[in-house]
Amino acid sequence: MNISTKSDSRISNEISTNCQNDEKQNETSKYLNIATNMNEEKNSSYLNNESNDSEAFQYNKKLVMDSIKGMNSIDRTIDRIDSYYLDFKQFSADVVNSKDEYDKYRASFDFEDVDGIRSDLKLIRSGSLFVWIIGKESRDRTQKRISYIKFRRTPSWTKEKIDEEYKNAINRAEYFRKLTAENPSKE
Partner 1 sequence: MSNFKEQHKGVSIVLVGNFSPLMFHPTWFSKNEVISEDDADAVVKNTNSNMVVSPGLTIFQTSNLEFSITPDRFMILAKKDPVIFAKDSILKTFERMSSVSIKALGINNFTIIELENASQFQDFADRLAPKDLWTNLLEDEVTGDDRKSGLIKMTMMKKTEFGAINFTIESTNKVKYGIHVSCNHHFDLAPDNGFADEAMAIIEKNFVNSSEKTQAVIDEIFKDL
Partner 2 sequence: MQSIEQSILENSQLKIPPKNDEIEVTLFGKGFGESCLVHIGDKKYILIDSFLNNDTKRPIALDYLDAININYDNIVLVICTHWHTDHINGISKIISSAPKAHFVTYDILGNDKFQKFLSLGKSVENSSTDEFVSTLELIRKNNIRLVTAKHNQLLYKVHENILTHKKKVEITALSPQHIETLEYIIHLNLPEPKDFKYVYPHDNDISIVTWIEINNDVILLGGDLENKSDSRKGWKAVVLNHSISNNKASIFKIPHHGSLNGHNQDVWKDLVATNPISILTVFNKCDLPTLLDRQRIKGLSSDVYVSGSAKTKDFSSKTLSDQIKKLGTKISIKKTTQNLGIIRLRKIIGTTSWKEELYGESEAV
Residues in touch with partner 2 (CB under 8 A): 75-76, 80, 82, 94-95, 97, 100, 102-110, 113, 126-129, 134-135, 145-147, 152, 154-159, 162, 165-166, 168-170, 172-177, 179-180, 183, 185-187
The torsion defined by the Cα of 62, 63, 69 and 70, in degrees rounded to 10, comes to 160
Number of Cα atoms under 13 Å in the Cβ half of residue 127 = 3
Contact 95, 130 (CB under 8 A): no
Q: Residue 120, interface with partner 1 (CB under 8 A)?
A: yes
16 binds, among partner 1, partner 2, none (CB under 5 to 8 A by kind): partner 1
143 binds, among partner 1, partner 2, none (CB under 5 to 8 A by kind): none
**Residue 63: closest CA among 127, 102, 126, 117:** 117
User: Of the two residues 62 and 177, which places its CB atom closer to partner 1 in the complex?
Assistant: 62
Q: For the segment 67-86, give every residue that binds partner 1 (CB under 8 A).
A: 67-68, 70-74, 77-78
Helix (H, G, I), strand (E, B) or coil at 13: helix
Q: Residue 60, interface with partner 1 (CB under 8 A)?
A: yes
CA angle, 82 then 88 then 91, to 5°: 20
Taking the C-alpha atoms of residue 167 and residue 147, their distance in angstroms, rounded to an integer, is: 44
User: Of the two residues 6 and 145, which places its CB atom closer to partner 1 in the complex?
Assistant: 6
Contact 123, 149 (CB under 8 A): no
Taking the C-alpha atoms of residue 161 and residue 146, their distance in angstroms, rounded to an integer, is: 38
DSSP per-residue codes, 88-105: TTEEEEEEEETTEEEEEE
User: Of the two residues 19 and 170, which places its CB atom closer to partner 2 in the complex?
Assistant: 170
Binding site for partner 1 (CB under 8 A): 3-8, 11-12, 15-20, 22, 24, 28-29, 32-33, 35-36, 39, 42-43, 46-48, 50-51, 57, 60-61, 63-65, 67-68, 70-74, 77-78, 115-116, 118-120, 131, 133, 150, 152-156, 158, 160
